[in-house]
Each structure stands twice: as C-alpha cells, then as structure tokens.
A = this chain, B = another copy of it.
Amino acid sequence: MQYPNGKKSSAFRQTNHTSKTVYSNRGMSLEDDINDTNQYYLTQNLAIVHKKPTPVQIVNVDYPRRSAAVIKEAYFKQASTTDYNGVYKGKYIDFEAKETKNKQSFPLQNIHQHQIDHMKQVVEHGGICFLLIRFSVTQETFLFPAQALFKYWNSQFNGGRKSIRYETVKQKGYIIPIRYQAKVDYLAVIDKYYMENGGTTHDRK
C-alpha cells in the first residue's frame, strides 16, 4: 500500500527536470534518476535527501521595475562539498554522483580534492558517505563507500592508477537495484552495507 500509483511518477517528471542534460536514446541521466528516487523517498517518507543548487558566483544583477531581478553576469563555481545530502533514520547521509562513458574504469578526475576532504570530514563525524558511480554504457550504478574511495584517491598520488577499475568498483562497491519507483534505490544498499559492517541493522519496512 506504500507504493505510488502511475500519476506520481509523471508528477516527478514535471517538477524535477528543469536544467538537465538530455541524453536521447539512452534513457535518463543519473542526476534525473536520483532526483526521481529522492522524490519517491520523500513522498514515501523514507528519507529526506535533496540535491544542492549549482554554486554560482553572481557578479551583476539587473533590477528592472515591476519584474523579477535578472542575473546578467555570473560564473560557475567549483563545489566545495558533494551534491546530495539529507537525513535517513536520524542519520546524516551525504553523497556525490558521477557517470562515466568509460567501460573499463572510473576516472578519478571526475572528483575534486575539495570533495574528498569534505567526504573525509563527514565520515569522521559519523555520517553515511559514498559515491554513486554509473557506467552509462551498461547502465549499471554502484554505491562505492567513501572509505574505499579514499584508498584509491590517495594511491594515485603515489604512482597508482588514476582511475578505479570496473572490476574493483564491482567488488568493493554494491550494485544498486533498479526499481520502477526508485531508479537508483540506494537506501536498499545502505541498509545492506551497514548490516555487513556490523552497524545497526536497518530493516526497511
């Protein structure tokens, strides 16, 4: 009875897709799928997770009479944190999502040092932190725990690979089940991940 009807799914479409990249012929982008999933979690009262707005440095704003302020000059800023955060069963949850066209590996250049620093802080403060990696060719999405990411991130500065092999992502990460209502059902994996690591058993109802 907690499942949404067809109407809700189309309602998500209308509200969420404002400034997306359109990938014709190969389904929705990872960002769109995550937005839909978050909207589903919100509607079903499972978790409260939002994407942060794109950080923009505003330089010049025009205030015309009788109409809305228009930003005339602005620049994209590098994000100092991850893109998504929120609350799940009282706990802080924080993640970044990246898609790659590469089949063999996930290039680490998709991530910035600032984001790694932020993720380390989150882990240290007891938050649930991870990377969602989608291989767009196979449309597989993995939850890759932050703790595992740090190891490969550091290794690249000591002569190691500048990417994480697909096989490693598969082995150290968790494939995310695709559900009609939750296209990137990461909560299912969080429950599993926390159980396996001896944390509290998070049973989903």
Contacts and interface: CB of A to CB of B under 8 A. Distances in A.
Query: How many monomers of this protein are in the complex?
Result: 2
Interface residues of A, number: 43
B86 A75 contact: no
A127 B71 contact: no
B18 A89 contact: no
Nearest to A73: B70
Interface stretch (A118-126, A130-138, A153-161, A184-192): A118-126
Contacts of A4: none
A66 B48 CA distance: 40
A72 B75 contact: no
Interface in A38-57: 42, 45, 47-48, 50, 52-57
A88 interface: yes
A57 to B, nearest CB: 7
21 contacts: A18-B57, A48-B125, A50-B80, A52-B52, A53-B54, A53-B56, A54-B56, A56-B56, A56-B74, A68-B76, A69-B75, A70-B74, A71-B76, A74-B74, A87-B126, A88-B125, A89-B125, A89-B126, A90-B91, A90-B126, A91-B92
